Amino acid sequence: MRLSALLVALALAGALAVPAEAACYADYKAKRDRPPLRLHYGVAQVSDNACNRKAAARVLRPRLNQAGWTLLNVLSTFGPEGLDERRASAGRFFLRY
């Protein structure tokens, strides 16, 4: 009986640990109005509880503003499986903010 209880406890602990490891990312467009006008496309990590476009925008807006950028829009949110296909397009703004 003790062994089965231990196995159940280990299985539960493993199942609960998986969501903590999940990662969420957002790709976005931003601008800087100081002459000359500059635009960039970027990818940023956001918390799991901000893994939708609206919540990601709330998280990214202050990060970008602090660096002098204005968030134009969040294009999408996605998991780690979408990082490689966006890396080249984001260039130096890949996981920067």
Render 14-72 in DSSP notation, one character per residue: HHHHHHHH--EEEEEEEEE-SSSPEEEEEEEEE-GGG-SHHHHHHHHHHHHHHTT-EEE
Task: Say whether pLDDT at 70 is over 90.
Answer: yes
pLDDT at position 4 is: 52
What is the DSSP secondary structure assignment for residue 1, as one 8-state letter? -
5 or 30, which is more confident: 30
pTM of the model: 0.75
pLDDT greater than 60 at residue 9: no
44 is written with which tokens?
A: 């940023």
